[in-house]
Amino acid sequence: MKHIDIKIYGNVQDVNFRSFLKAKASDLGLVGFVRNEPDGTVYTEAEGDEGDLREFLDQCRQGPRFARVEKVDIQEGKMQDFKLFEIKY
């Protein structure tokens, strides 16, 4: 099990990015959260199997249909033992 912190830059708010990532995380069995940041980015923390996290990162780089991802920053973090994956407001 591994924990990653991800910050996604570009046209990533108001394009259903949070719902997109929640669905992808649920499909992969990941736990954590996603939220919009005041600076226009999307921030997410996810925990799970390394292979599933790699697939999740691929989805972060692609985004939903109307998103335009310019950059993705990734950092390993300390396990938080989340129970589910949620959207934070």
**pLDDT tens, residue by residue, 13-66:** 999 999 999 999 999 999 999 999 999 999 999 999 999 999 999 999 999 999
CATH code, domain with 53: 3.30.70.100
Instruction: Give Cα separations from 41 to 10, 18, 36, 49, 63 (angstroms).
Output: 7, 11, 6, 25, 13
The pTM of the full predicted model, rounded to 2 decimals, is 0.97
Domain count, the chain: 1
User: In whole angstroms, what is the distance from residue 81 CA to residue 3 CA?
Assistant: 9
Residues identified as active-site: 18, 36
Give the integer Cα–Cα distance in Å for 42 and 29: 20
Domain housing 34: 2-88
Q: For residue range 51-65, what is the model confidence (pLDDT) as tens digits?
A: 999 999 999 999 999
